[in-house]
């Protein structure tokens, strides 16, 4: 509810009214939102970003920290975006990427026969190596009995410190970032129906009201465009916009069929799938775990190795510890319609235990090192909701929201796509809005949106010794009980 003058009455409280016009309001402070903010700045648009949690603390800081260019899904657009846009951007901002010399895929021969032609056709670099090229711990596991039925490839993927990426992208942007909750949108019938690819667009969002977390004060933004970069919170955000009274009124005023419009919007949102990914984190001195990343197809495991503990300052003296981020494939994967904005999910104990059992079969040295009473090996497990588009992995979405003439949805599905989405979103905008100066210093910008803590290093996450891990996940096989191919 709004009053004229300097104050706003919301929820029975009197709040100071601060109205700021911007070219673009970005909603969501993960990698997608921050790449958009950076790109809009470069193009001279005035832009503000609002986020309801610390920067990065959705999927972005839950991730493996891999610039996934799609070796196991073969998506040449990802490889092209990596080479042409993301690696140069990483160099320019000083992002310390690493790991490309120690990345392997171990695949059954039958699958290799499909992967190799795909890699060749799409320009993925790879070299077939013998099993002896894998770190020695893998050669002591079951793989040694499978030399005839598997093939090993050295590939060219890159890992990155995820918190460092968020810190670098948000550097110097404090005054353009709001930390708060959207309390209302205001919509009006469109004056111009100009975006050419959708003739049925009828509504403009002209006002967004945000309550700041730190002060409780409200800021009102009047953006020309809104870009949602809300990750797993996207559906809830769009449905809350759809439910605004002014939205329904604007529709009715423009003579549109509200029921049909809602249905079209739900069909659009239906493309957004939310899946769950588990992450088994293992931290150990280098040597016990090699700084090598491996996809083990037959064990349904993705292992991404990191050499810096805080995912921020990569220094040589941190290289004495390695953390493995191990994701087991879930054979019963189900999609969810909704998930928390910050992507945090419940852990499935059976899936985790099965993943650890598979890992121990492929890399038995881990158990030996972890069991010792003075062992320095530590474990933690978490799960995160991951947004995808349709049934395929790595597909980005950047398109106008059904029924609106100034709202654009961006969903990257993997981090690399944040850059391509930013380019595409700006090209949608540029047909209608010329860039202003990148000026507005928001009255309450910099009001507390800090770079988030990497999920596994937050206070709520407990790192366990081996015995504690066994207690927490009773399905982990005791020594000798794991089924072995050698037997
Ligand atoms: C466990 C896991 C591992 C992954 N591993 C990889 C990997 O190794 N490589 C890779 O490329 N990709 C990986 N992904 C996917 C990748 O992390 C995501 O594609 C990417 O981080 C999405 O970025 P985003 O900015 O769109 O969303 P997010 O990082 O989820 O950010 C969205 C932000 O929007 C905010 N928000 C939501 N709703 C609102 C609202 N209403 N108002 C204000 N703010 C809002 C949230 O708080 C959040 O901060 C992984 C994902 C998961 C879950």
Distance CA 468, CA 458 (A): 19
In 213-312, DSSP assigns E strands to 218-228, 272-285, 293-296, 301-306
Same domain? For 347 and 367 the reply is yes
pLDDT in the model for residue 388: 96
Is 485 within the bounds of a domain? no
**Would residue 416 count as lying in a domain?**
yes
Instruction: Mark whether 37 and 122 lie in a shared domain.
Output: no
464 and 407 both lie in a single domain: no
Compute the distance between CA of residue 301 and CA of residue 280 in angstroms, rounded to an integer: 10
Task: Evaluate whether residue 308 is within a structural domain.
Answer: yes
pLDDT of residue 247: 86
- Best substitution site from 35, 55, 59 to test ligand 1's pocket, by max atoms within 8 Å of Cβ? 59
Q: What is the mean pLDDT of each run of 10 residues along the chain (487 residues)?
A: 47 57 95 97 93 96 96 94 97 94 96 96 95 94 92 97 96 93 92 54 88 89 95 96 88 80 92 96 93 96 91 69 95 91 96 98 96 96 96 94 93 98 96 76 75 89 95 88 47
- The number of distinct structural domains making up the chain is 2
- 257 with 289, same domain: the answer is no
CATH number of the domain where residue 212 is located: 3.50.50.60
> Is there a single domain that holds both residue 31 and residue 174?
yes
Domain check: are 286 and 374 in the same one? yes
Residues 298 and 206 occupy one common structural domain: no
Instruction: Please count the other Cβ atoms lying within 10 Å of the Cβ belonging to residue 181.
Output: 14
Torsion of CA 294, 72, 30, 340, to 10 degrees: -90
Whether residue 182 has its Cβ less than 6 Å from ligand 1: yes
Task: Give yes or no: residues 112 and 182 share one domain.
Answer: no
Radius of gyration of the chain (CA): 24
For ligand 1, the distance from its centroid to the CA atom of residue 61, given in whole angstroms, is 7
Partnered with residue 382 across adjacent β-strands are 279
In the block, tokens 């009255």 appear at 443
Cβ(455) – ligand 1 distance below 6 Å: no
Which residue segment(s) compose the domain that 201 sits in?
Answer: 7-60+167-271+392-430
Phi–psi pair at 196, nearest 5 degrees: -65, -30
Please indicate, yes or no, whether residues 50 and 173 belong to a single structural domain of this protein. Answer: yes
Q: Does residue 444 sit within a domain?
A: no
Distance in Å, CA 97 to ligand 1 centroid: 19
State the alpha helices, DSSP H only, in 22-141: 31-42, 76-81, 87-93, 109-122, 136-139
Q: Is 290 in the pocket of ligand 1 (CB under 6 A)?
A: no
Query: Do the bridges between strand 126-129 and strand 47-51 make them parallel or antiparallel, or are there none, so unpaired?
Result: unpaired
Among 27, 57, 58, 66, residue to substitute to test ligand 1 (most atoms within 8 Å of Cβ): 58
Strand partners, 408: 227, 400
Q: Is the residue at 449 inside a domain?
A: no
Which ranges of 374-464 would DSSP assign to H, the alpha helix? 417-430
The answer to whether residues 245 and 278 belong to one domain is no
CA neighbor of 198 nearest in space, from 275, 268, 131, 253: 268
Residue among 103, 82, 79, 102 nearest 91 (CA)? 82
Does 141 share its domain with 287?
Answer: yes
CATH number of 113's domain: 3.30.9.10
Residue 437 is assigned to a structural domain of this protein? no
In a domain, 70, yes or no: no
| Residues 142, 137, 163, 277, Cα dihedral to 10° | 10
Tell whether 181 and 232 lie within a shared domain: yes
Q: Is the CB of 274 under 6 A from ligand 1?
A: no
Q: Does residue 208 fall inside a structural domain? A: yes
279 pocket-lining for ligand 1 (C-beta < 6 Å)? yes
Q: 273 has which bridge partners?
A: 388
* Helix residue ranges, H only, 298-406: 349-362, 365-371
């Amino acid at each position: 509810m709004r009053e004229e003058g300097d104050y706003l009455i919301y929820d029975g409280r009197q709040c100071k009214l601060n109205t700021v016009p911007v070219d673009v309001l970005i909603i969501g402070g993960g990698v997608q939102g921050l790449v958009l903010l950076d790109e809009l700045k470069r193009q001279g648009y005035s832009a503000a970003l609002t986020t309801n949690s610390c920067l990065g603390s959705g999927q972005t800081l839950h991730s493996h920290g891999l610039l996934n260019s799609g070796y196991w899904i073969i998506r040449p657009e990802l490889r092209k975006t990596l080479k042409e846009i993301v690696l140069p951007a990483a160099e320019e901002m000083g992002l310390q990427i690493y790991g490309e010399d120690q990345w392997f895929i171990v695949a059954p021969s039958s699958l290799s026969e499909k992967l190799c032609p795909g890699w060749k056709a799409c320009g993925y670099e790879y070299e077939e190596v013998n099993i002896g090229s894998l770190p020695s711990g893998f050669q002591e596991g079951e793989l040694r009995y499978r030399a005839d039925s598997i093939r090993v490839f050295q590939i060219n993927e890159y890992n990155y410190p995820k918190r460092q990426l968020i810190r670098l992208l948000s550097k110097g942007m404090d005054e353009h970032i709001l930390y708060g909750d959207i309390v209302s949108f205001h919509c009006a019938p469109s004056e111009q129906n100009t975006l050419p690819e959708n003739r049925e667009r009828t509504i403009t969002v002209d006002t967004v009201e945000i309550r700041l977390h730190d002060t409780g004060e409200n800021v009102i933004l009047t953006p020309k465009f809104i870009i949602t970069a809300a990750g797993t919170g996207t559906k809830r955000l769009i449905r809350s916009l759809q439910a605004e009274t002014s939205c329904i009124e604007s529709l009715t005023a423009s003579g549109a069929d509200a029921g049909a419009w809602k249905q079209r919007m739900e069909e659009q949102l239906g493309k957004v799938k939310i899946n769950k990914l588990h992450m088994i984190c293992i931290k150990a001195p280098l040597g016990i775990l090699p700084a090598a990343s491996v996809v083990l197809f037959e064990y349904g495991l993705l292992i991404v190795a990191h050499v810096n503990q805080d995912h921020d300052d990569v220094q040589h003296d941190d290289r004495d510890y390695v953390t493995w981020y191990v994701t087991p494939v879930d054979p019963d994967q189900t999609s969810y319609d909704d998930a928390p904005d910050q992507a945090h999910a419940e852990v499935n104990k059976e899936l985790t235990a099965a993943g650890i059992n598979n890992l121990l079969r492929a890399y038995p040295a881990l158990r030996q090192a972890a069991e010792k009473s003075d062992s320095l090996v530590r474990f933690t497990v978490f799960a995160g909701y991951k947004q995808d588009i349709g049934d395929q992995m790595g597909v980005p979405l950047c398109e106008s929201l059904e029924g609106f003439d100034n709202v654009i949805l961006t969903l990257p599905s993997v981090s690399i796509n944040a850059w391509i989405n930013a380019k595409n979103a700006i090209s949608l905008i540029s047909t209608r809005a010329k860039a202003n100066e990148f000026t507005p210093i928001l009255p309450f910008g910099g009001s507390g949106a800090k770079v988030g803590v990497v999920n596994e290093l937050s206070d709520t996450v407990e790192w366990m010794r081996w015995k504690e891990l066994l207690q927490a996940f009773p399905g982990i096989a005791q020594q000798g009980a794991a089924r072995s191919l050698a037997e």
